[in-house]
Structure 1
Amino acid sequence: MLVEKTTKNKLPIKEGFRILSFIFAAILVSACSSTINFPNSEVIPAADAKLKVEKNDNNNYELEFEVENMAEPDRLTPARRNYVAWMETEKHGTINIGNLRINRKNSGEIRTVTPYKPIRVFITAEDRQDAVTPSTQVVLNSGEFKVK
């Protein structure tokens, strides 16, 4: 009787190797990103904000800022027209990264890419969305952080 060799044992090893490779890649990618949860705001206590910062293959920083339970800026005292997101950088000062629009569900988001290393992100209430310098009416502040 002729016994055939089977490769049944090799298939699970190959599959296991693929799974381990995928897990290693996921860990490697997640090691390059940071998630920052903003502390409670004294101005808008119900606001819940988080920021994800990731350095990409081009050595740029991808920022994803999301906020929930955010009051419209015209409900603040004093009332304003816009929320503006600002990024404080390691070497290039403070930069306006965009207007934070709040939708009907009281949430909003900003996604941007920058060559500058961020060390802090904060939101101010402004009369103009194209403000060059931030007002003193800071409504959310990440505090200083380090990007991995």
Structure 2
Amino acid sequence: MKTVKNVLLGAVLLLLTSCGSITTFPISNIVPAAEITAKMKQDKNKNYSIEVKAKNLASANRLNPPKNNYSVWIVTEKNETKNLGQLMNKNAKTAVLKTNTPFKVIEIFITAEDQGNNTYPSGIEISRVTLNK
């Protein structure tokens, strides 16, 4: 009986520590129907696993002016801006980016860009969120 309790307690603790934190982006003036969240957790190697998910995000080519993609950026604790990649449409309603980074993330923001491999943001900012420090 004691073993069963220990196993259950261990399972509950594992579930609680594996969740990470989920942050909701503010409503965008550019794409107000979009519901954007970011989930971030730190792994055992001190890297950060980040998942940005956008529901009901209008296609970038429907913006005014039209763009080619949505890029996800981070601001690090050293105030550096890094391109994490592009939001990729999973289906017609959801766009997702899953990635890992060694940098401690202070902010995450999304821009609509003409090119996806930019080293600095130059397009329209869609939304930005500051994470808990």
TM-score of the alignment, normalized to the shorter chain, above 0.5: yes
| Aligned twin of 2:48 | 61
Q: Does 1:21 align with 2:7?
A: no
Greater Cα radius of gyration, structure 1 or 2: 1
**Identity in percent:** 31
Q: 2:32 aligned to 42, 45, 52, which one?
A: 45
| Contact kept? 1:72, 1:106, Cα under 8 Å | no
Matches within 5 A, 1:1-148: 12-30=1-19, 33-91=20-78, 93-142=80-129, 144-146=130-132
Number of positions where the alignment pairs a residue of Structure 1 with one of Structure 2: 133
Q: In structure 2, what is the Cα distance between the partners aligned to 1:92 and 1:61?
A: 17
Q: State how far apart, in whole Å, the 2-side matches of 1:60 and 1:38 are.
A: 22
Moved over 4 A (4+): none
Q: Is the 8 A contact 1:47 1:68 kept in 2?
A: yes
How far apart are residue 145 of structure 1 and its match?
1.1
Distance 1:26 1:120, change over 3 A: same
Partner of 1:3: none
Match of 1:5 in 2: none
Q: Give the Å deviation of 1:92.
A: 5.3
Give the strand-richer structure, 1 or 2.
Answer: 2
Equivalent-residue separation in structure 1 for 2:108 and 2:88 (angstroms): 16
1:105 positional shift: 1.3
Gaps of 5+ in 1: 1-11
8 Å Cα contact 1:72-1:102 kept in structure 2: no
Quote the offset at 1:98 in angstroms: 0.5
Q: Which whole-Å CA distance do the structure 1 matches of 2:6 and 2:36 have between them?
A: 38
TM-score normalised to the size of structure 1?
Answer: 0.83
| Aligned Cα root-mean-square deviation (Å) | 1.6
How far the C-alpha of 1:104 sits from its partner, in A, is: 4.5
- Gapped regions of structure 2 (runs ≥ 5): none
CA contact (8 A) 1:92 1:116 kept: no
Task: Name the SS of the counterpart of 2:89 in structure 1.
Answer: coil
